[in-house]
Amino acid sequence: MAELEIEAALSGARAAASAASFDVQKLPEDSLERQALHGIISAIDYLIQAVDAQD
């Protein structure tokens, strides 16, 4: 993938993860769904960081 395409994909991934995180904050604080989704979003954030670090 060309460098510009990678940067665009990372930007899109960051925006989507941020929007998902915002939506998760609307769930009840003690819900299992919120905890599970927070874990998934954290994993996605780490993956984005890993891909970004390889550039």
pLDDT at 2 (0 to 100): 83
Quick one: three-class SS letters along 6-49? HHHHHHHHHHHHHHHHHHHCCCCCCCHHHHHHHHHHHHHHHHHH
Digit-coded pLDDT (tens) for 44-55: 999 999 998 986
Instruction: For residue 43, give its domain range.
Output: 3-53
Kindly tell me if the per-residue pLDDT of 43 is higher than 70.
yes
Q: DSSP code of 1? A: -
Digit-coded pLDDT (tens) for 18-34: 999 999 999 999 999 99
Domain count, the chain: 1
